[in-house]
Amino acid sequence: MSAKIISGSEIARTIREEIAREALRLRQEYGIVPGLVTILVGEHPASVSYVTAKQRAAHELAFYSVQENLPETVTEQELEKCIDRYNNDPKIHGILVQLPLPRHIHEQKIINAIDPDKDVDGFHPVNLGRLMIGGDAVKFLPCTPAGIQQLIVRAGYTTEGAEVVIVGRSNIVGKPLAVMLMQKARGANATVTVVHTATKDLAAHCRRADILIVAAGVPGLVKPDWIKPGACVIDVGVNRVGEKTSEKTGKKIPILRGDVDFEAAMEIAGAITPVPGGVGPMTITMLMANTVKAAQYAANIPLAAKH
């Protein structure tokens, strides 16, 4: 039997249509245009491509969007000053600083400088605290975990009472996702296990999972015999394993692989996300959803969207 492919690209398209309708309602009923600034430090190719994709999505949704490019040599103070300018700009509702930052800049200090009400990445300690409390306290869900939750729910999987195993405990994926999925809430209420580099028998934990989410950054880490037959497998890993020439543009593009041995897993899992085209498009989509939310919070408008 072959697993169903959960297409992040398709689900993301549906959610973007919902966001577009919500943004139109904001414009027509309240005269508000959601505003997003993406701040890029340096010219790291992966970061440039992520920021470009975020700007493209914002344009397509007719947001007010600004791209701020700062040199690799920018100082911490200059970057904080730049953030503060957007903290005080009423046209901007969401501020995204593309990570990672150069070594001479203290990343957490920069995240802390963003106004928590404009923190559309959901990484500010205030928003992580709100996430921990859950319920009405939550303002912004971190984008990748939020995208993963949407993928699971919209693919028709029930999280309520499910055994969820998350491989990886990073601050941007594993930890916030575990907190989200253990909450007593819709699309959550799961029994969550987080496994990591110190876990003794990784395979045994994974085999118990009704929903297995892998965010380790190790290509092909999860083998087919680690997967419970029929499980829902979400592969978050994006690993550059080589280069190929694009048929469309003739340019060199990276060859991407996930953390799961995809071909073999297809024979065991009930459903699986591909890499690319799985979690990736969802992350950017949830950033757009958070930007609309930020605009709504700023104007005290009740939320109508379901993400």
Distance, CA of 153 to CA of 166 (rounded, Å): 16
* Of residues 102 and 217, the one with the C-beta less far from ligand NAD: 217
Q: Which of 117, 119, 121, 210 is catalytic?
A: 121
**213 makes contact with ligand NAD (CB under 6 A):** no
Distance, CA of 258 to CA of 191 (rounded, Å): 25
Does the annotation count 183 as an active-site position?
no
**98 makes contact with ligand NAD (CB under 6 A):** no
Does the annotation count 121 as an active-site position?
yes
Kindly give, in sequence order, each residue whose CB lies less than 8 Å from that of residue 256, ignoring residues fewer than 6 positions away.
238, 239, 240, 241, 275, 276
Kindly give, in sequence order, each residue whose CB lies less than 8 Å from that of residue 62, ignoring residues fewer than 6 positions away.
20, 23, 27, 33
From 34, 94, 122, 168, residue interacting with ligand NAD (rule: CB under 6 A): 168
Name the one range near ligand NAD by CB under 6 A: 29-37, 100-108, 155-163, 167-175: 167-175
**273 makes contact with ligand NAD (CB under 6 A):** no
Q: Which two tokens stand for residue 205?
A: 């934990």
Does the annotation count 244 as an active-site position?
no
**170 makes contact with ligand NAD (CB under 6 A):** yes
Name the one range near ligand NAD by CB under 6 A: 37-45, 59-67, 71-79, 279-287: 279-287
**174 makes contact with ligand NAD (CB under 6 A):** yes
**218 makes contact with ligand NAD (CB under 6 A):** yes
**7 makes contact with ligand NAD (CB under 6 A):** no
From 14, 108, 197, 245, residue interacting with ligand NAD (rule: CB under 6 A): 197
The closest of 235, 195, 234 to 211, measured between CA atoms, is 234
**283 makes contact with ligand NAD (CB under 6 A):** yes
Which residue numbers are catalytic? 54, 98, 121
**Contact residues for ligand NAD (CB under 6 A)?**
144, 167-170, 172-174, 196-197, 202, 215-218, 221, 236-239, 279-280, 283
